[in-house]
């Protein structure tokens, strides 16, 4: 797949010109839509008030009544990192607020699938809860909520996924993406939603003198921001100002080691220094280790890691999660090789042209890893990809990843409208979705999905674009600038880390590890040399005989043997 370096439009930085920000940072912020200096505020005071969330008062009254009444509360979560952090936050906050009995339940994805199903309600009923609280799921659980209420349980749904035409008949339903919800941050993820609900609950209990009557301290909700930051980054939601504030405040607590022992233990096994933590470390180091539990075994392992107050127990759980993540990598590598072979055969069958929407299936693929496989193949091909695994009983489950230009959930909705017999169920976001269908419907679905992708995408949309913030001057290529940019985030989805491009002379090239290219480059005509590294390069191309290359790169701070220096992390390089 070819990649094209495209420079971001500069944006209007005039409103930032009166600040003390360096011109480069003014340009970077303006290209990301920042129009006023106050939009850069990352303090908690910028958070939207919880009363903007539809149904939050009803949710708080239901939960508050259970706390005050000493009822049994069961939190039902999802089996990804957002679900794990949501579950842990809900349990920890409720316990801190004096709930007499609170526990969690996460469906095993291989036995029960996603969400509050009738089957998982039957499991929940064995614990005799009075109240179920869903976190990071529930918006599509029509039957599950009905089953819970038939069994005498009350239900409060907290979720952020896109609703369907029908909403479940829960006692309360808190979701910023409800059509009738005026909450400004539609990108709030599951852990963000439950954080808001618990914050409102604390206020409700405080107003009734609950903490004083019980002789317990009122919890500081900021103590849970480490979990909010982790879930927000790992769920790859857009970092609008509200989410940037939540993530930044969580990062500050983790850097000061005021975080859950389990989170610190996960950083330790991942080889990350909490004091130097950035948002990307949560997404690439901590999130995958937590997700590995849900993908291969049971997310309860990850939630217990986040719940424990015992550092030794946290370390043992983190070590177990790290081992699961290594196992997941091995499974994923085998699946990637099989997928690439299938793509090669597909190209030959189609005279060299791949479908616009790619569907891949192998009976041996692991259901818990198909989401990662779809993501990897999508990155390789830059087109929408759905990977399927056998789910038993004649059904297959798919995990989809999309590219800009195709809203994947809407695409599935369109396929379902044209072919109502094909999809058993589906749900998701703009860029990721899941679905179930009968195996004998795969070919019909494959053709319908490709046709829908072609309705929205053209050849230009299938060309991968690497967005760049332009060239850096010699005086901007400094360690001080790298530190400034590092601290100017948090960077993430729809608020991307600054990337630059330019032509450099290649002085040294060597492979380190298995596929990483270590470079020494020189800015032409200056004699100024820099260390650089490119990860997972094409070994058929690099090292190259070329003595010049165009690089797309990010500024990085390299710490080695007590020495701190500037390093370029190369995202793409083209021999010249």
Residues 432 and 445 grouped into a single domain:
yes
The answer as to whether 21 is a domain residue is no
pLDDT at 17: 82
Last residue within a domain, chosen from 462, 496, 531: 462
Bridge partners for 467 per DSSP: 6
Supply angle C-alpha 291, 428, 443, rounded to 5.
100
Lowest mean pLDDT among 312-316, 328-332, 461-465, 530-534: 461-465
Single out the residue of 121, 193, 128, 125 nearest to residue 159, CA to CA: 193
At 346-381, the pLDDT tens digits run 875 555 689 999 999 999 999 999 999 999 999 999
Residues 361 and 253 grouped into a single domain:
no
Give the domain range for residue 471.
Answer: 466-575
- pLDDT surpassing 70 at residue 476: yes
Residues 121 and 253 grouped into a single domain:
yes
Beta strands in 138-289 (DSSP E): 154-158, 172-174
Last residue within a domain, chosen from 442, 462, 482: 462
The answer as to whether 62 is a domain residue is yes
CA-CA distance, 285 to 291, in Å (whole number)?
Answer: 11
At 305-334, the pLDDT tens digits run 999 999 999 999 999 999 999 999 999 999
Residues 193 and 71 grouped into a single domain:
yes
Residues 444 and 475 grouped into a single domain:
no
Average pLDDT over residues 290-316: 95
Residues 247 and 375 grouped into a single domain:
no
pLDDT at 412: 96
Residues 153 and 258 grouped into a single domain:
yes
- Any idea of the CA torsion for 220, 223, 228, 229, to the nearest 10 degrees? 130
pLDDT at 478: 97
pLDDT at 348: 59
The answer as to whether 13 is a domain residue is no
CATH number of the domain within which 497 lies: 2.40.50.460
At 137-178, the pLDDT tens digits run 999 999 999 999 999 999 999 999 989 889 999 999 999 999
Residues 382 and 301 grouped into a single domain:
no
At 492-514, the pLDDT tens digits run 999 999 999 999 999 999 999 98
CATH number of the domain within which 274 lies: 3.90.1640.30
CA-CA distance, 174 to 197, in Å (whole number)?
Answer: 8
CA-CA distance, 307 to 84, in Å (whole number)?
Answer: 10
SS3 of 260-288: CHHHHHHHHHCCCCHHHCCHHHHHHHHHH
Residues 57 and 202 grouped into a single domain:
yes
CATH number of the domain within which 445 lies: 3.10.310.30
Instruction: Provide, rounded to the nearest whole percent, the portion of the chain with pLDDT above 90.
Output: 88
């Amino acid at each position: 797949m070819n990649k094209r370096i495209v420079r971001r439009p500069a944006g209007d930085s005039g409103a930032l010109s009166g600040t003390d920000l360096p011109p480069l940072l003014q340009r970077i912020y303006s290209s990301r839509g920042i129009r006023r200096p106050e939009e850069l505020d990352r303090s908690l005071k910028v958070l939207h008030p919880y009363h903007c969330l539809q149904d939050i008062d009803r949710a708080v009254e239901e939960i508050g009544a259970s706390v005050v009444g000493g009822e049994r509360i069961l939190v039902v979560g999802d089996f990804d990192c957002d679900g794990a952090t949501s579950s842990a936050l809900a349990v920890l906050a409720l316990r801190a607020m004096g709930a007499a009995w609170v526990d969690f339940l996460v469906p095993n994805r291989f036995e029960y699938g996603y969400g509050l199903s009738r089957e998982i309600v039957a499991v929940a009923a064995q614990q005799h809860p009075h109240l179920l609280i869903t976190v990071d799921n529930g918006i599509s659980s029509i039957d599950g909520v009905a089953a819970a209420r038939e069994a005498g349980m009350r239900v409060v749904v907290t979720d952020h996924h896109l609703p369907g035409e029908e909403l479940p008949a829960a006692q309360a339903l808190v979701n910023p993406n409800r059509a009738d919800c005026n909450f400004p941050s539609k990108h709030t993820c599951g852990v963000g939603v439950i954080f808001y609900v618990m914050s409102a609950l604390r206020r409700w209990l405080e107003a009734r003198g609950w903490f004083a009557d019980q002789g317990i301290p009122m919890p500081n909700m900021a103590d849970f921001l480490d979990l909010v930051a982790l879930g927000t980054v790992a769920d790859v939601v857009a970092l609008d100002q509200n989410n940037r504030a939540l993530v930044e405040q969580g990062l500050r607590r983790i850097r000061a080691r005021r975080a859950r022992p389990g989170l610190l233990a996960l950083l330790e096994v991942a080889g990350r220094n909490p004091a130097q933590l950035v948002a990307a470390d949560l997404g690439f180091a901590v999130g995958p280790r937590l997700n590995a539990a849900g993908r291969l075994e049971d997310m309860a392992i990850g939630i217990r890691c986040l719940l424990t107050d015992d550092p030794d127990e946290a370390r043992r759980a983190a070590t177990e999660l790290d081992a699961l993540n290594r196992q997941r990598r091995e499974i994923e590598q085998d699946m990637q090789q099989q997928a690439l072979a299938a793509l090669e055969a597909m190209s030959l069958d189609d005279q060299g042209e791949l479908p616009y929407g790619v569907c891949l299936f192998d009976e041996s693929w692991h259901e818990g890893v198909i989401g990662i496989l779809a993501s990897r193949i999508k990155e390789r091909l830059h087109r929408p990809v759905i990977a399927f695994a056998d789910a038993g009983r004649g059904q297959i489950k798919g995990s989809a990843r999309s590219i800009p230009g195709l809203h994947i959930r809407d695409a599935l909705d369109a396929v379902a409208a044209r072919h109502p017999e094909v999809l058993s169920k589906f749900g998701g976001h703009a860029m990721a979705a899941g679905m179930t269908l009968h195996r004998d419907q795969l070919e019909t679905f494959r053709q319908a999905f490709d046709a829908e992708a072609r309705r929205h995408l053209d050849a230009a949309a299938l060309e991968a674009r690497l967005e760049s913030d332009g060239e850096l001057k010699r005086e901007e290529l400094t360690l001080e600038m790298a530190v400034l940019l590092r601290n100017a985030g948090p960077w993430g989805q729809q608020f991307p880390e600054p990337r630059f491009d330019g032509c450099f002379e290649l002085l040294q090239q060597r492979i380190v590890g298995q596929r990483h290219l270590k470079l020494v480059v020189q800015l032409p005509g200056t004699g100024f040399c820099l260390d650089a590294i490119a990860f997972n390069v094409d070994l058929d191309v690099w090292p190259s005989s070329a003595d010049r290359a165009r690089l797309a790169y990010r500024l990085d701070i390299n710490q080695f043997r007590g020495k701190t220096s500037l390093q370029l992390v190369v995202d793409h390089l083209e021999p010249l």
